[in-house]
């Protein structure tokens, strides 16, 4: 009887482990933030933020036109910082890095951030040429989060950490560049709220780039606000 009990326990653990795949975890995440049907209706996201940069407060806004472009603008110490990613290239204006006019983003930096053009990169990820795998679980604070390794069509990797209780993404880590040096960009997400559209989004984001960090708190989130594609065009 004892042997049977042990065998049954082992069998149940085997099937539980076998059933848990990256797609299983991602499906629960998609359900948690609104579901496939709702996400399929999202064409754009516009967010206004109050951003704390190293103790200095500023305003920023981000616009995503799903599958077409991503643009973030921040006013900081009287200067404007702009970063844009489209489905083919990227550009930036950053006076604090010596770039007062629009400058093309280097290819490797673009590959790392190109999936920002998607409202939700994990939704229908295979259609974008990406692949995922469940890389076990890893501690994020007190949470033993699922770690999803996401590799985009150009081979750039982003690791997503998903809370096994809420199934919200609580952290993402990807490679980036700062002042010409490679860095790990860690973004921590919290304060998920339901928008008027019904989509759950994190209203708080903390970005850590080693010697540089910032925290953004959303003051306005608009889903499917009309977006003119020309806002992503690089100024000549």
CATH assignment at residue 211? 2.50.20.10
Q: What is the pTM assigned to this prediction? A: 0.88
Q: What is the pLDDT of residue 164?
A: 97
Give the model confidence (pLDDT) of 167-191 as tens digits: 999 999 988 666 566 678 899 999 9
**Domain range enclosing 205:** 2-232
**Which portions of the chain are predicted below pLDDT 70?**
1-19, 176-182
Asked if 94 contacts 81 with a C-beta cutoff of 8 angstroms, the reply is yes
Residues 156, 174: Cα–Cα separation, whole Å: 8
For 51, what's the count of Cα atoms within 13 Å in the CB-facing half-sphere? Answer: 21
pLDDT at site 20: 83
The tens digit of pLDDT for each residue in 124-160 reads 999 999 999 999 999 999 999 999 999 999 999 999 9
* Rg, the chain, Cα only: 20
Report whether 20 contacts 182 (CB < 8 A): no
Q: Which residues of 173-205 are buried (b: 16+ CB within 10 A; e: fewer)?
A: bbbbbeeeeeeebbbbbeebeebeeebebbbeb
The three-point CA angle 133-194-32 to 5° equals 30
* Dihedral of alpha carbons 190, 76, 209, 119, sign: positive
Q: How many domains does the chain have?
A: 1
Distance CA(236)–CA(229), nearest Å, equals 16
């Amino acid at each position: 009887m004892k042997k049977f009990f042990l065998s049954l326990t082992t069998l149940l653990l085997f099937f539980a482990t076998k059933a848990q795949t990256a797609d299983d975890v991602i499906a629960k995440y998609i359900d948690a933030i609104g579901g496939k049907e709702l996400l399929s209706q999202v064409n754009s996201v516009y967010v206004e933020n109050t951003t704390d940069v190293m103790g200095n407060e500023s305003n920023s806004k981000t616009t995503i036109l799903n599958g077409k472009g991503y643009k973030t603008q921040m006013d900081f110490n009287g200067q404007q910082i702009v970063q844009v990613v489209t489905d083919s290239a990227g550009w930036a204006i950053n006076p604090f890095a010596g770039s007062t006019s629009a400058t093309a983003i280097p290819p490797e930096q673009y590959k790392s951030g190109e999936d920002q053009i998607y409202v939700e990169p994990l939704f229908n990820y295979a259609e974008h040429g990406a692949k995922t795998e469940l890389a076990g679980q890893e501690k994020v604070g007190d949470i033993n989060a699922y770690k999803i390794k996401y590799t985009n069509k150009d081979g750039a990797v982003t690791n997503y950490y998903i809370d096994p209780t809420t199934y919200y993404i609580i952290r993402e880590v990807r490679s980036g560049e700062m002042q010409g040096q490679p860095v790990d960009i860690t973004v921590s997400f919290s304060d998920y709220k339901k928008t008027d559209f019904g989509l759950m989004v994190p209203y708080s984001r903390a970005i850590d780039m080693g010697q540089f960090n910032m925290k953004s708190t959303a003051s306005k989130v608009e889903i499917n606000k009309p977006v003119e594609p020309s806002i992503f065009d690089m100024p000549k």
